[in-house]
A = this chain, B = another copy of it.
Amino acid sequence: MYHSSMARAATTSDAFNAVAEPRRRDILNYLALQERPVGDIVASLGLEQPSVSKHLRVLKDVGLVRARREGRHILYGINAEAIRPLHEWTSTFERLWRNQLQRVKERAEEKMKKV
């Protein structure tokens, strides 16, 4: 890149950015059930067709979905492997929220004793 400043990491750069968009999460949720043609997504989510195509393009570029042609239709399906990095990153904080919940629980039990 030749530019001294960048506005924001491109949405196409990685899975984290791709799933930041709610509609794209909706699409992934929908595709999680089953492989589907674009038209089904359009109908089910009530979005414009070009909008869906553009979101699918982003998801495909970061590897979150795979596409294959089937006659006149193009079937999109999830590539779940690409979601793992997100899962694993969030997992590194699991210990923390368990501790925090544990502390809340302990404090509650302390109060019960005092009563």
Contact = CB atoms under 8 A, between A and B. Distances in A.
Given A9-B20, A9-B22, A90-B87, A32 B81 contact: no
Contacts of A16: 19-20, 22, 25
A2 interface: no
Q: In which size bucket is the chain A interface? A: 20 to 34
A90 B93 contact: no
A26 to B, nearest CB: 11
Contact of A83 (B25, B79, B97): B97
Contacts of A86: 86, 90
B100 A91 contact: no
Contacts of A100: 79-81
A76 to B, nearest CB: 14
A78 interface: yes
A19 B91 CA distance: 14
Interface in A29-46: 29, 32
A113 interface: no
Contacts of A21: 8-9
